[in-house]
Amino acid sequence: MLATVALEYKQTEFELEQDEELTFDLFKTWQNILHLRTQYGYEDGHSFHLGINLVAEGKIGRQFDQQTPIQAYSIRQKGIHSIQLGWLKNFIVENPDRLSSLSFEIVGNPQAASDKNAALGGADLIARYLFTFLNSWGEIFGDLKMEYRGDKRIRRGDGEEMKIRHLSSIGPSAGYKYRYESFYAFGLLGFQLNTGYQATSPSYNRTTDHGFATQVKLGVGYQRPKWMLELDAIVVTELYNKDAADFANLDNVEFEFETPYNFNLTYSWLF
Amino acid sequence: MALLKLTLLCLALLLSSQSEAGALATIGSDLASPVTTPARYILVGGVVATSLAYATRTHRTYRKRETFGDAKPLGDLGFIGDYIGYGALNLGYMGLAYWYGEYYDDADSRLNAELMMRATSYTFTLTMIGKNLISERRPGYPDDDQSFPSGHASASFAFASVVTARHGWGWGSLAHAMAGFITVSRVNDDFHYLHDILAGITIGASYGWGVHYNAQKGRNLWFSLLPVERGGLGFALGTQF
C-alpha cells in the first residue's frame, strides 16, 4: 500500500487580454490544497486509489489593472476541493526497461457553492496511458491523457454565480528524469487540445469553439526504497479561440487561463 | 444469376489461392485487424475519446477567416499541415521503401512499402466512407460536408503508426510529431472539430498497427463470398485458433 501527503499552492488567472496589457473579466483563484491519497495493489499489476483534496485556505477574487476601473472583490474557498477514485493497470511486457500502464480516475466535488464559499462543482473523468522507458541515466516518461471536465458552478464575490459548461481535452506529455544515486531531477512538457470553453453569468457570456493548453513541469526529488520526497513547479497556459461573433469589435484579444504559480511538495511512503 | 454465382465463386477461389494468404483473405484479415489484433486497444480508446469530444462539442458560429493570424494554436502556419497532409508522407515512404527494397534486394524494405500501402488504403477507404455517410459540415466552411472523420489525421497517423511499428520509437517519435502537427493544423484552420481528428487518428493508428500485427503473426481471419441456394449470395467468415 502506498500513502501520499502533498501540499499544493496554486494561483490561476482567468482573463481576457487585449494587446497583452489591458485586462477584462479578470478573476483569480488562490488555493492552498492538502492532498491525502492512498493506493492499494490488490492483484499483480492492478491497483486502485482513493484521495481527498482539501482547500486549507482559498480565495476567488478579482484584481484590476490601474487602467481598468473594475470593482475588486473576493470570496473565500474552504473545505473539500475534490474526492478522487481511480484504478490502474500495469501492462506486463517482455522488456523490463519499458513500463506502461492505463489508469482511469473520477474526480468529484460534493460541496455546493454558497454565498460564503465559492466551491467548484461537477465531476471530472480522466483516462491516461502512461509510459516509461528506462536507461542507465534515468528515464523518458510521459502520458497520453484524455479528460472530461464536468459542468462547474463558481460563486463569485460579487454575488453572481458563473456556470462553466463541460468540455473535454486530450493530449500527450513527455519528459526526462535524470537520476543520480537516490536523487533525481526531471522536466516535462505537455500539450493538449480542448473543445470549446463556455461560461455564463448574469452579467456576461463568454463562448469559444476550441482551445489548447501547454504545460511545463520541473521538479527534484529524493527516493529511497520505502519513501520519497518530491518538489515540483508547474506552469500551465490555456488559450481559447474566441468566438468571432462575441468579440467582433475586439481585435487582438486573448482569451487565456494561466496558472503561473503551482508548487507541490509531495511525500509518499510504502507500508 | 447462375452465371454470376459461378463467376463470383471462381473469383473467390482464384483470389484465395493466389498466394499463401490469398488476396481476398488478406484483405479480410486486414480489414478486421483493428478488432482481431492488439490494435483493438487503440480502437477502443479512440472510440471513447471521440465520443467524449463529440458529447462536449460546442455550438460553432460559422465563419470564414480572412487571415489565420489569430487562429489557435498555430496561427497562420496551418497551411503547411494542410499541404503535406494529403498523403504525401505515406506516398513518399512507400516509394522510398520500395525503391530501396528493389535496389538493394531487401525483402524487409519491400514489406515495409507493402504494409504502408495496405494501411493507407484501408484508412483512406474507411475515411471516405465515413465522410460520405455522415456528411458533417466543416466548422469554418459550412458549404463543405466532409468534416467527419479527418482524412489528414487518419492518413498521417497511419503513416506514423507503420513507421513506429517497423522502425521503432526513435523514428516513430519524429513521425508522430509530424502527424501531430498535421492533425492540429486542421483544427487550427477550422477544417475540423476535435472529434473529427480523434476519429481520424483512431482509424489511421488502428490500421497502421493492425496490418503490422497481421504481418507479424499471419492472418487470423479470412472471408469469402459464396453463392447459395434460391438465388442469394453467402458471406463466409473464418478464423484460426
Q: Containing H/E element for A64? A: none
The rounded mean pLDDT for chain A is 84
Distance, in Å, from the CA atom of B219 to the CA atom of B239, rounded to the nearest integer, reads 8
Chain B within 8 Å of A173 (Cβ-Cβ)?
Answer: no
Contact between B90 and B159 (Cβ < 8 Å): yes
Distance, CA of B144 to chain centre: 21
Cβ separation A239–B73 shorter than 8 A: yes
Contact between A90 and A112 (Cβ < 8 Å): no
The predicted pLDDT at position A184 comes to 94
Is the ipTM value over 0.85, yes or no? Answer: no
- Residues A261, A264, A265, A271: what is their CA dihedral angle, to the nearest 10 degrees? 180
Is the pTM for the entire model greater than 0.95? no
With a CB cutoff of 8 Å and minimum separation 6, the contacts of A45 are A89, A90, A91, A92
Chain B within 8 Å of A240 (Cβ-Cβ)?
Answer: yes
Distance, in Å, from the CA atom of A239 to the CA atom of A217, rounded to the nearest integer, reads 18
Cβ separation A210–B184 shorter than 8 A: no
pLDDT per residue as tens digits for the range B106-145 = 999 999 999 999 999 999 999 999 999 999 988 888 888 9
The long-range contacts involving B15-22, CB below 8 angstroms and separated by at least 24 positions, are B16/B222, B16/B224, B21/B218, B21/B219, B22/B222
Distance, in Å, from the CA atom of A235 to the CA atom of A188, rounded to the nearest integer, reads 11
A240 → closest Cβ in B72, B184, B197 = B72
Contact between B163 and B171 (Cβ < 8 Å): yes
For the cut 80, the answer to whether the pLDDT of residue A120 exceeds it is: no
CA distances from A217 to A137, A177, A188, A236, B47 (A): 20, 11, 5, 9, 30
Angle at CA of residue A158, ends A156 and A162, nearest 5°:
40
Q: In the numeric block, which cell numbers belong to residue B81?
A: 499541415
pLDDT band, residue A96 (cuts 50/70/90) = confident
